[in-house]
Amino acid sequence: MALPACAARALGPPLQPERGAPARTTCPRRHSRVEAELAASRPESVAASVRAGPPRGVSRGFNSQPLLDEPLKAASSLVGAARAPLFALLLRGRRRRMHDLRRRWDLGSLCRALLTRGLAALGHSLKHVLGAIFSKIFGPLASVGNMDEKSNKLLLALVMLFLFAVIVLQYVCPGTECQLLRLQAFSSPLPDPYRSEDESSARFVPRYNFSRGDLLRKVDFDIKGDDLIVFLHIQKTGGTTFGRHLVRNIQLEQPCECRVGQKKCTCHRPGKRETWLFSRFSTGWSCGLHADWTELTSCVPAVVDGKRDARLRPSRNFHYITILRDPVSRYLSEWRHVQRGATWKASLHVCDGRPPTSEELPSCYTGDDWSGCPLKEFMDCPYNLANNRQVRMLSDLTLVGCYNLSVMPEKQRNKVLLESAKSNLKHMAFFGLTEFQRKTQYLFEKTFNMNFISPFTQYNTTRASSVEISEELQKRIEGLNFLDMELYSYAKDLFLQRYQFMRQKEHQEARRKRQEQRKFLKGRFLQTHYQTQSQGQNPNPSQNPSQNPNLNASQSGTQSLFQNLIQNLTQSSGQNLSPKENQESQKQNPGQEQSDGNTSNGTDDYIGSVEKWR
């Protein structure tokens, strides 16, 4: 667009850079067209508008020629005075906003420039630091100071990969309990899973003498047949946890079907619509809430085969199992449970075909429950079924007249109940202890030949352990549960002896298999070697062996080679044994292989000498 004649005369000739000065590289001002239009419309104000110069922040350039000459300066002063009333028309607030906008634009530009330069400096420093690190690591391979473009790209890729791995790790594993961060499994060896779980000494001294039949609990449980496992659940012994293991944690051909939101699971036999487990989580409380030994033995056969004719009922094997716990811990746990409102009113306590009367079994509280009761009140009630609960639930109550205390004296009654509970516990297919979770799992697997999917967990912190009681109060609780204390001592001794017996039997089976493998390798080696010798060194069978000294030398070499082979096999197999087992094997094998009869004799020698094996 061409300028008007008056504007061109006012602006004068176009600016020319001085000789030797650098040429202007900036673009023309954007408001030049606006100034030309204003000059065309108002010739008198051109000089003042042009004299005002470029806006703030735009440089004129070095050695540039002034825009106007001296005569024009005088005219511009007059025109500026004429323009003063026009600027007064602008509001003061608008001018202030324009000034703030310019100042913010300047600060923003400064911040962006500083940020850009800072990032560049940081990247440069990071490059030098990483270069120094890589020079220490990969110094013999290449020099970082002369890294080419490919090396820079490789370094950047490694840094980005590391940052990406850190971000992914934070999303996948945000907490400190993540399995990926547990490096102890790689640094420390795996401990023995059947080590003493109560952190006491692993040395065990038996107090009772049990026969081999009492220690060897091997049940021929046929899950596809008619056998049935019956779980006797005693309150506050960890039976709920063990019951869940039975329905959710066993490797079966047809696992139990457990639905979300339902406590009971469907545990059918393979190919049948019949249960193999009678427990809380499979059949529910079919014989009453926490039914005892007396109730289960009379109720379970009727519940399972009640709809069938007596002549058509199969000959089932009922395998009873249960879990016991330390009496003091169990008593305190039941008291805390009662404090929270538990009553067990649904328990039937059926004995000899009828439940007890209110005179035979009075209640310890008058309201709906016994919530909030103190420990002293809980112990003072003489009719509290928490006292000696484990003995009462494992004994045959029909032997003492059920809940009628007037049938026999109290001392005789307690003796009969204790002996009955011990006998029933000893003849049960299996029982475990809450304080030995891993050993309980091991004995169950060996007894029923059924394996669990995941190992049991030992919880040393419970509600009962959080209760702090004095020594005097503990002695009183032990006095109230003196029958349970005697039964638990008996059960613990039998449990640990069974465990050690099964472990020794397992070691003997492994030793016998190794001996059979050595015998097999010996026979195969001798057979192969003699065949080779007979084919290679004795082609003429009519030749006298005494006339061939090479044959005798080869036979002696064969024997020495075979002895070295047997020695290596013995050393390799002996590395898996403990020092005590090696000593025992040396005593049993003083130069010859042990026979199967000696192995069985070693099992028989175990009776009464458990500590010797340990």
* Catalytic residue IDs: 290
d(CA 507, CA 603): 11
Please state the length of the chain: 614
3-state helix, strand, coil in the chain (%, to 5): 55, 5, 45
CA–CA distances in Å: residue 61 to residues 18, 31, 53, 125: 12, 18, 12, 36
Asked if 232 and 394 count as a contact pair (C-beta separation under 8 A), the reply is yes
User: Residue 73 corresponds to which tokens in the numbers above?
Assistant: 């300066």
Other C-beta atoms closer than 10 Å to the C-beta of 555 total 14
179: Cα separation from own chain's centroid: 7
Cα separation of 300 and 306, whole Å? Answer: 9
Residue whose token pair is 């023995």: 192
- 3-class DSSP state for residue 230? strand
What the block records as the tokens of 525 is: 């080696």
Rounded to 10 degrees, the C-alpha dihedral 326/331/333/338 comes to: 160
Adjacency order of strands within the sheet including 228-232: 277-278, 228-232, 318-324, 430-433
The amino acid sitting at 509 is E
Three-state secondary structure string covering 503-560: HHHHHHHHHHHHHHHHHHHHHHHHHHHHHHHHHHCCCCCCCCHHHCHHHHHHHHHHHH
Q: Report CA-CA distances (Å) from 306 to 298, 312, 314, 607.
A: 12, 11, 12, 43
Q: How far is CA 269 from CA 91, 222, 275, 304, in A?
A: 94, 10, 6, 14
Residue whose C-alpha is closest to residue 424's, from 384, 397, 403: 397
Specify the amino acid at residue 601. N
User: Quick one: DSSP state of residue 403?
Assistant: T
Distance separating alpha carbons of residues 24 and 6, to the nearest angstrom: 26
| Burial of 510 per CB tally in 10 Å (0-12, 13-18, 19+) | middle
Q: CB under 8 Å to 478, separation ≥6 — which residues?
A: 327, 328, 485
What is the distance between the alpha carbons of residues 503 and 92, in angstroms, rounded to a whole number? Answer: 99
CA angle 472, 477, 481 (to 5 degrees): 145
582, containing H or E segment: helix 579-588
